[in-house]
Amino acid sequence: MRLSIALHIAILLAPFARADQSAVPDLTALSLAALSEDKTESQNAIASLRAAGPKGLQTLIETYEAAITRHKNKPTKSEPMWDRLSAALDQVAAQKDAWAAGLYWYTDLEQAERVAKETGHPILSLRLLGTLDTELSCVNSRFFRTALYPDAGVGKFLRENFILHWQSHRPVPKLTIDFGDGRTIERTITGNSVHYVLTPEGRVVDVLPGLYGPAAFLRAIVDAHGLAAVYNRPGFAQILADYHNSHLIGIRSNWSADLRTIGLQAPVLAQSENTGRQVGPGAPTAMAGTRVAVAKSAAETRSVFALVPDRTALASSTEEATWSKIAALHSADGKLDTGSRAVILSKTGDAVAANNLTISKKKLEDPVTRLVRNFERSVAEDTVRNEYLFHSQIHEWFTTNRIPTNLDLLNEKVYAQLFLMPKTDPYLGLVPADTYTALPADRASK
């Protein structure tokens, strides 16, 4: 991967294809210059590739395809200039670990909307704590970079069918642990992320809160893409209401079926003869209280709602051990492909190599296999929790017309009411007023 003197001369003498086409940058020459040892030359080339959009990233990937493939196959092996190539990819893509995903992200929503209108593609907009192009963003976004974006099926569909955008909701809280002997480690301590599916004109059609497994995420974005693709049809408001009504019914029915499968009785709610509202275990939800005001489709599904349990009652009847059993029913949704495993190895290579030295010829489980299996299990559990608890609430908001039309306002609602992290709480719930810490009251602000 070392650049020859002749190649450097070619880069310096031919930054563009021909003088008569000076407005069209030579992306291959810029890709070669991006790894120059001259920092000014490198940064200028990277900035030009970034400005070229997805084509700039694609050319950079194609130029160094062999090196990227070698790293994917052996992510624990060091290679000369890899750090520079990895950093260049991250800067052009605006995403950490871009070598694994190959996705281009806009960081300006207006620009993303302009491109969406030109191409006709919907937008997938990510809101997160921290930034997607740094190592220490919130944990969910780090898991997206591991489990979702490098996945072959997910990545291909995003690349071909969406305009991608991310925006920081707020800085990510970090914790530095000082061991007192000169060693320190830094970790993030809270945070959540959410994907919004937008029409090319910026209207939200669905919201995917938190972490999903690759298979479940792909199903969700395929469905939402199909919805966003018909945004300009007459009666789209009714189409949108029908979509969320049907998905809400499906979630409640599936949740109830899962509880029965693992041997638990799902709570069944009755309908009040006078009000038509569901009554039974748990507090009535906003869905039960405002269903009458929903469009025609919601009125037609009223009889179906009576047959499936209410989200509040289901949530109150589902304990920690139960979630693990439900997740086991959907373990396939958490399975990681080779791209995701390569990212895991790139982060844990030294530790895994050290552990491998202790493995004898006995039939012991490989540390990587154990690590991946445990992660897949947690991803599957996050998937069912987010789908059954958070996404069902999103569907309720849509069916009751409680979705703000402004994306920023909707995002505030999601963080405040779903993630319980309102911006009005500067400490994100980490400094509860009723808990004694044996520290001065103002210590948290220092």
Query: Could you report the per-residue pLDDT of 242-292, keeping only the tens digit for each?
Result: 999 999 999 999 999 999 999 987 765 444 333 333 333 333 333 332 233
CB neighbours of residue 282 within 10 Å = 18
Domain-located, residue 224 = no
pLDDT at position 435 is 66
Q: Which domain holds residue 27?
A: 1-93
Share in percent of the chain as helix, strand, coil (round to 5): 55, 10, 35
| Average predicted confidence (pLDDT) for the chain | 82
- How many CA atoms lie within 13 Å of 421's alpha carbon, on the beta-carbon side? 19
For 335, the token pair is: 């399975």
User: In this structure, is residue 345 part of a structural domain?
Assistant: yes
CB 317 within 8 Å of CB 259:
yes
Instruction: pLDDT band for 365, please (50, 70, 90 cuts).
Output: low
The identity of residue 194, as a single letter, is: V
Q: How, if at all, do strands 278-279 and 204-209 pair?
A: unpaired
Residue 63 counted as domain residue: yes
Kindly state whether residue 259 falls inside one of the protein's structural domains.
Answer: yes
- Among the candidates 76, 93, 110, a domain finishes at 93
Decide: 107 and 123 in contact? Cβ < 8 Å.
no
Q: Please give the tally of structural domains in the chain.
A: 2
Other beta carbons within 10 Å of 383: 27
Burial class of residue 359, CB neighbours in 10 A (0-12, 13-18, 19+): exposed
Q: Which residue has the tokens 């052009």?
A: 92
Last residue within a domain, chosen from 41, 69, 93: 93
Residue 182 falls within a domain, yes or no?
no
Contacts with 73 (C-beta within 8 Å, 6 or more apart), sequence order = 342
- Show which of 57, 73, 93 is a domain's final residue: 93
Task: Kindly state whether residue 69 falls inside one of the protein's structural domains.
Answer: yes
Q: What is the pLDDT of residue 269?
A: 47
Q: What's the pLDDT score for residue 271?
A: 40
Give the pLDDT confidence score for residue 184 in this predicted structure.
85
CA triple 437-439-442, angle to 5 deg? 115
Tell me if 110 is assigned to some domain. Answer: no
SS3 call for 243: helix
Dist CA 115 CA 130 (whole Å): 25
State both tokens at 211.
């972490």
pLDDT in tens, 129-176: 999 999 989 999 999 999 999 999 999 999 999 999 999 999 988 888
Q: What is the per-residue pLDDT for 267?
A: 66
